Amino acid sequence: MNHTKTYLRYLFIAVLGFSGVSLHAQLLWKISGKGLAEPSYLFGTHHMIPIAFLDSVPGLFKAFNQCDAVVGEMVLNNIDASEKIMEASMLPQGLTIDSLLNEQDYTLVDMELKSMFKIGLKELALMKPAVIRTMYETELYRKYTGFSDDIQSDSYFQQVAEQKNKKIIGLEDIDTQIALLFGNTDQKREALLLVETLLHKEESIREIETLNSLYKAGEIDKLVELAKVQGDPLSMTHEEYDQLIDSRNQNWVEQLPEYMHGQACFIAVGAMHLGGENGLIHLLRKEGYKVKRVK
């Protein structure tokens, strides 16, 4: 088994991504007004939903074809980021996973990983707990849902854009994304989250069901509400939520006008970034744009 190739598969999934008037209506939005020569479109993605789902979103491909540029969280196609991602996934020098876990937790994690991947903590001793957790959750998702797509919706739109000679624009670079996903220096907390995930994997499966149902129904505000729920060890702190969602939304809404006034844009970002008072829909409206559901 090629362990490096396996690690990268899960890490690229992590980088790609963490999101009813009528079914799916709230996933696709039209942006107009404030002097835009042509409308742009905003679509909320979910990186672990089959590509076939896109066929069920009314008006999606028509909107995509009307745009000259595709805007994503970062430019995914033709990026050789393997070395950077692998470097970011490793623990600081002198620190190993066994120093972050007591004997009981180490045994638990080791057994669960061997059950899932046929490899244990001995092979992953230098990997950050957050990376191991991402690998585990992704494979748990795949096994539970039967998800087998090798391409996620985030990268799908960019691949089609490349084929159609559309411009591809990234709101962030690979270094920014890596810092957001793997930059937490509190490895003790990350180790705790890893253990809690394994102890409560049934709850993780139920959360997967809930997230998928909300996404498919276009309930973007409820996705945001769910992400903000506090009260268990796996919940994001207010600071983590602000760093991953709110602060990025503010940065993006400062960039988007320049792109939209230059050409019609198809903006495809994680659905979690659309809803709520600090979501892109509300922020764009505050800037004076008309943002309406595509029916």
Contact 104, 191 (CB under 8 A): no
- CB within 8 A of 237, min separation 6: which ones? none
Average pLDDT, the chain: 86
DSSP 77: T
Cα separation of 77 and 42, whole Å? Answer: 20
Name the helix (H) or strand (E) containing 72: strand 69-72
Q: List the single range of 205-214, 231-240, 274-283 with lowest mean pLDDT.
A: 231-240
Name the helix (H) or strand (E) containing 169: strand 167-170
Question: 32 has which bridge partners?
Answer: 290
117, 182, 243, 263, 265 from 57: Cα distances, Å:
35, 33, 30, 23, 18
Q: List the single range of 38-47, 185-194, 232-241, 244-253 with lowest mean pLDDT.
A: 232-241
Q: pLDDT at position 22, please?
A: 35
Q: pLDDT at position 80, please?
A: 61
- What is the band of 145 on the pLDDT scale with cuts at 50, 70, 90? confident
pLDDT in tens, 31-44: 999 999 999 999 99
Please give the angle made by the CA atoms of 30, 32 and 36, to the nearest 5 degrees. Answer: 135
The alpha carbon dihedral of 9, 235, 216, 75 has a sign of negative
Contact 167, 263 (CB under 8 A): yes
Amino acid at 184: N
Tokens of 216: 């498919």
Contact 20, 26 (CB under 8 A): yes
Asked if residue 163 has pLDDT above 90, the reply is: yes
- What is the band of 152 on the pLDDT scale with cuts at 50, 70, 90? confident
- What is the band of 18 on the pLDDT scale with cuts at 50, 70, 90? very low
Residues 81-108 have a mean pLDDT of 89
Residues 13-32 have a mean pLDDT of 59
Length of the chain in terms of residues written: 295
- CB within 8 A of 87, min separation 6: which ones? none
Q: pLDDT at position 17, please?
A: 42
Share above pLDDT 70 across residues of the chain, in percent, rounded to a whole number: 87
Q: Is 293 exposed, middle or buried (0-12, 13-18, 19+ CB in 10 A)?
A: middle
